[in-house]
Structure 1
Amino acid sequence: MNRDVGFFNFSVNKILTRDQTILDQARIRLLYYGLWLAIITVAAILATLYIQHRQILSYSTSMLLLSILILFKYLTFRPRWGIISHILLVLGTMVNLTNVFITLQSVNIVTAQITLLIIVFSFYMLGQTCGLFYSLVNLIPILIFLVLEYDNTYFIPLKPKVVDGSTMIIAIFANFIFIIFIQNHFYRAFIKSIKQLKATAEERGNLNVEFEKAIEKVEKSSQAKSEFLSTMSHEIRTPMNAVIGMTNLLIMGNPRPDQKDNLDILKFSANNLLALVNDVLDFNKIESGKVVFENLKFNLVELMQNVCGGQKLKAEEKGLNFILEIDDSLRNREFFGDPTRLTQIVFNLISNAIKFTHTGNVWVKVTQLEDRHNTVTVDFAVKDTGIGIEKENLDAIFEPFTQESITTTRQYGGTGLGLAIVKRLLELQGLQMSVLSQPGIGSEFSFNLEFPVSTETATELAEKQPLVLNGNEGMNSLRVLIAEDNLVNVMLMKKLFSKWGITPTIAENGERAVEIAQYGNFDIILMDLQMPVMNGFDAAVEIRKIRDPKKANTPIIALTASALLDIKERVFSSGMNDYVSKPFKPDELREKMQNLVTTVI
């Protein structure tokens, strides 16, 4: 409805708006032009009745004309076509039945026309229900009158009026015009609606085509982004592997105290850079929906101590008190879950607490909330006395690449992905993070996680643990083939393995690795994945095809700096036994080698 229409408006265009449907606009136009025609017709009938000195008919016709004028004015001021239609139908019904039972006391062609008009008008304007109602209200009384008239039983003390031929001609002609006008008007509206529906369908079809193209473009863009991140990951992780690896080798070489301090700074900075790269890659993996949670057995207390061990040193370097509180009821129990993702969540929360705390304390509390024998609900809470967070910024801190403010980003650094990763990992498990924070006082982040637990005792578990020898005992007996094309990484691997008493064989590409594996005898193969001539995946497949079963089943560990989301699946589907991401930790590589080789170390 157009609220700008004034009281003295007489234009139909001003009462039509874009939000009205084609059918509603057709109804308004029908009322507008139909009322004009009714005004002219009733005025003509009134004139003939006045000339014939029919006072009663002239008076009733004048009232009808006044009613039509009022409705026309109401339509051009407030086009409430539903209300106006009901009023017109009531007036038409009253006129029709009054003519039949009182004025004319007969059913003639004019009565039939008016009844037909009411039926058509009510269905077109108000729909099926109202159409049936007004049709029956007019037809049933007329049928009753016809029955009574047929039996000569209808009688009222009023003498019927006689209408001359001219009035009848005007009424009949006008009624036909009304019927033709209504049919023509709504037929045009119907055709227009069909054409609009066809145009809309064609437009929707074109939009669907464009939408499919857009989806395809987005998918290609997403794939290109993943491939770009993988490539960049490989390009960044490869030199980082050398930097961190050489730093570890130098630290293992018993350097002087001043050299060790420099090496520690170098290692710390390299690990920070690696953490930034890992954050971006992990977030990309999470957003792509490629995260799969593992269900491994682990010791929760040991995991928390390992996570907090390095963080405690970092906190103490800032002069903070680091407090780890673990519920005693959680000790000596084995839990099932994804220790890697739990470590990632807790590590990010603790890192944030330390980063944004200048003085005071950082608490990490692990509390058992509920023990149902085979499942345990644990509450993890990280609390600090840091800068705190404004209430209106609590939602923003969980958005990717976002921190509380630009000042915070400049002062404290970081990618702004830590809490976003935490939130996504929790949401993927159907969990929510709880945050309590006051600016200048501190913050507390907490969440609850339910774990299945082993019902075995700690003694029983210890008895089942396999024997793993410490140190480098027996490592010098291993025959190792390394497939690696990067000369810096080759040098690093040689230096690392020399400390374990191993002299590895080097293959500069995948094809060469397959040739050496066919003619040599090796206990284990370390396979880089991205190499010239033949990549690591294809090389592993070819090695598994070697006729000698012993050589074909040689354990293979993939060494990869790639971050492709499906890297793990591709590694195992190509026949490799395990993989280590570059930059790797020497202890992690040694442990995996010990677990895979058949020789007792």
Structure 2
Amino acid sequence: MPKKVSFFNFSIYPIISREQSYLDQARIRLLYYGFFLVFVASGALFLSVYFQGQRLLAYTAGCLMFSVAILFKALTYRPNWSAISHILLVIGTLVNISIVYVSLQSINIVTVQVIIIVIVFSYYMLGQNWGLIYSLLNTVPVLLFLLIEYNNSYVLRIKPDKIDQATIIISLFANFIVLIFIQSHFYNSFLKNTRQLKESRDEQVKLNLELEKAIEKAEKSTRAKSEFLSTMSHEIRTPLNAVIGMSNLLMMGSPRPEQKENLEILKFSANNLLAIVNDVLDFNKIESGKLVFENISFDLLELMTNICGGQILKAREKGLQFGLELDHQLKNKVFFGDPTRITQVIFNLVSNAIKFTSEGNVWVKVTCMEDRHNKVMVKFSVKDTGIGIHQTNLSSIFEPFTQESLATTRQYGGTGLGLAIVKRLLDMQELHLDVASKIGEGSEFSFQMELPVSTVLPLVPKIDKPTEETHEGSLVTLRMLIAEDNMVNVMLMKKLLSRWEIIPVIAENGERAVEFMQYGNFDIILMDLQMPVMNGFDAAREIRKMADPKKATVPIIALTASAMVDIKDQVYDAGMNDYVSKPFKPDELIEKIQSLVALT
């Protein structure tokens, strides 16, 4: 509805706004100009019948003039066209019935015209339902009067008025003008409304085309970003694999103290670079919406101990006191959830606490808030005595690639992705991260997570981790095929495997790996995925198609430096048994080799 106008307004422009549809604007114009026509017509009729002494018709015409004037003022002051239309139609219906039953006590062409005007006006102004109601209210009484008059049974003591030919002409002329005005006005509005709909449709079609182009562009951009990250991941992880792998090999060779210190610095720097790459890749996986949470059993206290085990050393290197407090109510319980994501969250929070604390303490606390037998509410808290965060910056620290200030980035480094990953992982699980911090005093990050708990505690015997000697004894006769095109990685693999007295056969691409399998026998294959001539996926599919069942079912472990979010699914779809991400840990690789060989 347009804004309120002055009571003394008589113009149509303040009561019409562009926000209204063409149809509503046409309705308001019809009332505005129609009131003027009806007022003039009823005034002419009033003068005609008044001077002829026709009192009933004069009273009717006078009441109509007065009603039209009041409604006109209501329209220009409070333009509620719907309510005004109802009032006008009620008045018109009463006038029509009073003329038929009282004033004239007969039906003529003027009466029929009035009925037609009411019917047309009601449909145009109020729609089908109300149009039908007012049509019946005007036609049924007239038809009933005709039936009564036909039986000569209509008797009223009031003497009817008689109208002369001049009055009939004036009435017919006025009615025709009103009918023509209504039809012309609404036909014009119908054309404008149709034109508006066509323009809206054309604009909608244009917007849809632009939207489709934008969606296609966004999808191409997303694919390009994902492919770029995958390529960059492969290109960065491949040399990192060699750096970290060689560092591990050299440290396993009893280096001198000064050499060991240099190797530790080299390995530390490489691991820091790997952590940055992993942060970017993890964040991309989360943003893509393809991250799926697991629901597997795990020991929460053991998990926390493992997470904080490596962090304790970092804290001690900085001279910090590190405390890990685990609620005894959580002991001897088997939880269900995603330990990998819990590790990611806690690891990032603890790493941040250590990074931004130069002296003092770092505490990690895990508390049982509520134990409902099959579900436990656990609170995780990481507190430090570090630099603290200003209150105005508490929201910005969770934005990707953002730290509290440029000075913080320069002094402490990092990508600014740690807290962004934490926040998004918790948001995806509908968990809230609470932050309490004071500048110069430290910060505390905490969240609560409900974890299902097994009601049955099976006794699982603890299996000691295989030692290097066990590896050597069980793998010395292993026949291994390695498909790898990078010579540095080949050299690294040979040196690593030589410690377990494994002499592998090397295939420089997937096609050569398939040829080796056709003419030789192998117990396991380590398959790089990105190779020339034939990639690892196609090579694995070709091997799975071989006629010899033993060759077709040989265990295949994918070696990948890719960051594609669905790489795991692609590996399994190609028929491979497992995968190891580069750069890999020697213990992780040898355990997977042992487990797959033991199954064959």
By the TM > 0.5 criterion, same fold? yes
Structure 1 residue 432: deviation in Å? Answer: 0.5
Partner residue, 1:587: 587
Q: What code does the residue aligned with 2:288 have?
A: S
User: What per-residue deviation string (whole Å, max 9, x for no partner) do you get for residues 45-82 of structure 1?
Assistant: 34445665768866764564354345445434543322
Q: Is the Cα–Cα contact under 8 Å of residues 472 and 501 in structure 2 kept in the other structure?
A: no
Residues 2, 473 of structure 1: alpha-carbon distance in 2 compared, 3 angstrom cutoff: same
Q: Is the Cα–Cα contact under 8 Å of residues 374 and 455 in structure 1 kept in the other structure?
A: no
User: What per-residue deviation string (whole Å, max 9, x for no partner) do you get for residues 279-301 of structure 1?
Assistant: 11112222223223334443333
User: What per-residue deviation string (whole Å, max 9, x for no partner) do you get for residues 134-177 of structure 1?
Assistant: 44554565566656665455334x54433332122111221122
Q: What code does the residue aligned with 2:431 have?
A: Q
User: What per-residue deviation string (whole Å, max 9, x for no partner) do you get for residues 153-203 of structure 1?
Assistant: 5334x5443333212211122112222332343344345444544554454
Q: Is the Cα–Cα contact under 8 Å of residues 382 and 446 in structure 1 kept in the other structure?
A: no
Question: SS of the counterpart of 1:302?
Answer: helix
Q: What code does the residue aligned with 1:303 have?
A: L
Question: Partners of 1:129 and 1:273 in 2: how far apart?
Answer: 73
Q: Is the Cα–Cα contact under 8 Å of residues 368 and 378 in structure 1 kept in the other structure?
A: yes
Q: Is the Cα–Cα contact under 8 Å of residues 379 and 446 in structure 2 kept in the other structure?
A: no
Q: Is the Cα–Cα contact under 8 Å of residues 26 and 185 in structure 1 kept in the other structure?
A: yes
Question: Partners of 2:120 and 2:141 in 1: how far apart?
Answer: 18
Q: Does 2:359 align with 1:366?
A: no
Structure 1 residue 529: deviation in Å? Answer: 1.2
Partner residue, 1:433: 432
User: What per-residue deviation string (whole Å, max 9, x for no partner) do you get for residues 331-383 of structure 1?
Assistant: 34444443322211221121222233343322222234455656555333323
Partner residue, 1:555: 555
TM-score by length of 2: 0.87
Q: Is the Cα–Cα contact under 8 Å of residues 476 and 501 in structure 1 kept in the other structure?
A: yes
Q: How does 1:71-470 map to 2 (within 5 A)?
A: 71-76=71-76, 78-139=78-139, 142=142, 151-152=152-153, 154-156=155-157, 158-371=158-371, 376-389=376-389, 393-428=393-428, 430-440=429-439, 441=441, 442-453=443-454, 455-457=456-458, 460-462=459-461, 465=463, 468-470=466-468
Q: Is the Cα–Cα contact under 8 Å of residues 349 and 445 in structure 1 kept in the other structure?
A: no
Q: What code does the residue aligned with 2:155 have?
A: Y
Residues 409, 56 of structure 1: alpha-carbon distance in 2 compared, 3 angstrom cutoff: farther
Residues 9, 248 of structure 1: alpha-carbon distance in 2 compared, 3 angstrom cutoff: same
Q: Is the Cα–Cα contact under 8 Å of residues 559 and 582 in structure 2 kept in the other structure?
A: yes
Structure 1 residue 448: deviation in Å? Answer: 1.1
Structure 1 residue 235: deviation in Å? Answer: 0.8
Moved more, 260-269 or 127-136: 127-136
Question: SS of the counterpart of 1:255?
Answer: coil
Moved more, 353-362 or 264-273: 353-362
Partner residue, 2:494: 494
Q: Is the Cα–Cα contact under 8 Å of residues 522 and 554 in structure 1 kept in the other structure?
A: yes
Question: Partners of 2:153 and 2:518 in 1: how far apart?
Answer: 119
Gapped regions of structure 2 (runs ≥ 5) = none
Q: What code does the residue aligned with 1:499 have?
A: R
Question: SS of the counterpart of 1:415?
Answer: coil
Question: Partners of 2:116 and 2:550 in 1: how far apart?
Answer: 98
Structure 1 residue 231: deviation in Å? Answer: 0.5
Question: Partners of 2:58 and 2:161 in 1: how far apart?
Answer: 12
Question: Partners of 1:294 and 1:78 in 2: how far apart?
Answer: 63
Q: What code does the residue aligned with 1:154 have?
A: V
Question: SS of the counterpart of 1:263?
Answer: helix
Partner residue, 2:516: 516
Identity over the aligned pairs, expressed in percent?
63
Question: Partners of 1:247 and 1:237 in 2: how far apart?
Answer: 15
Q: Is the Cα–Cα contact under 8 Å of residues 119 and 134 in structure 2 kept in the other structure?
A: yes
User: What per-residue deviation string (whole Å, max 9, x for no partner) do you get for residues 560-593 of structure 1?
Assistant: 1111122112222223222111111122122222
Partner residue, 2:532: 532
Q: What code does the residue aligned with 1:443 have?
A: E
Q: Is the Cα–Cα contact under 8 Å of residues 298 and 336 in structure 1 kept in the other structure?
A: yes
Q: What code does the residue aligned with 1:26 have?
A: A
Question: Partners of 1:13 and 1:286 in 2: how far apart?
Answer: 55
Q: Is the Cα–Cα contact under 8 Å of residues 513 and 539 in structure 1 kept in the other structure?
A: yes
Q: Is the Cα–Cα contact under 8 Å of residues 373 and 455 in structure 1 kept in the other structure?
A: no
Residues 540, 61 of structure 1: alpha-carbon distance in 2 compared, 3 angstrom cutoff: closer
Q: How does 1:59-70 map to 2 (within 5 A)?
A: 61=61, 64-70=64-70
Question: Partners of 2:254 and 2:576 in 1: how far apart?
Answer: 36
Q: What code does the residue aligned with 1:438 have?
A: S
Question: Partners of 2:334 and 2:67 in 1: how far apart?
Answer: 89
Q: Is the Cα–Cα contact under 8 Å of residues 335 and 454 in structure 1 kept in the other structure?
A: no
Residues 64, 410 of structure 1: alpha-carbon distance in 2 compared, 3 angstrom cutoff: farther
Q: Is the Cα–Cα contact under 8 Å of residues 148 and 154 in structure 1 kept in the other structure?
A: no
User: What per-residue deviation string (whole Å, max 9, x for no partner) do you get for residues 224-267 of structure 1?
Assistant: 22111100111111111122222222322333333333332322
User: What per-residue deviation string (whole Å, max 9, x for no partner) do you get for residues 539-572 of structure 1?
Assistant: 2233334455444443322111111122112222
Question: Partners of 2:318 and 2:152 in 1: how far apart?
Answer: 112
Question: SS of the counterpart of 1:461?
Answer: coil
Q: May I ask how many residue pairs the two structures share in their alignment?
A: 595
Q: Is the Cα–Cα contact under 8 Å of residues 431 and 448 in structure 1 kept in the other structure?
A: no
Question: SS of the counterpart of 2:365?
Answer: strand
Residues 454, 511 of structure 1: alpha-carbon distance in 2 compared, 3 angstrom cutoff: farther
Residues 224, 186 of structure 1: alpha-carbon distance in 2 compared, 3 angstrom cutoff: same
Question: Partners of 1:272 and 1:288 in 2: how far apart?
Answer: 24
Question: SS of the counterpart of 2:322?
Answer: strand
Structure 1 residue 326: deviation in Å? Answer: 1.9
Question: Partners of 1:278 and 1:394 in 2: how far apart?
Answer: 24
Question: Partners of 1:528 and 1:277 in 2: how far apart?
Answer: 20
Residues 548, 57 of structure 1: alpha-carbon distance in 2 compared, 3 angstrom cutoff: closer
Question: Partners of 2:599 and 2:122 in 1: how far apart?
Answer: 95
Residues 408, 77 of structure 1: alpha-carbon distance in 2 compared, 3 angstrom cutoff: farther
Q: Is the Cα–Cα contact under 8 Å of residues 240 and 583 in structure 2 kept in the other structure?
A: yes
Q: Is the Cα–Cα contact under 8 Å of residues 57 and 99 in structure 2 kept in the other structure?
A: no
Partner residue, 2:16: 16
Structure 1 residue 324: deviation in Å? Answer: 1.0
Gapped regions of structure 1 (runs ≥ 5) = none
TM-score by length of 1: 0.87
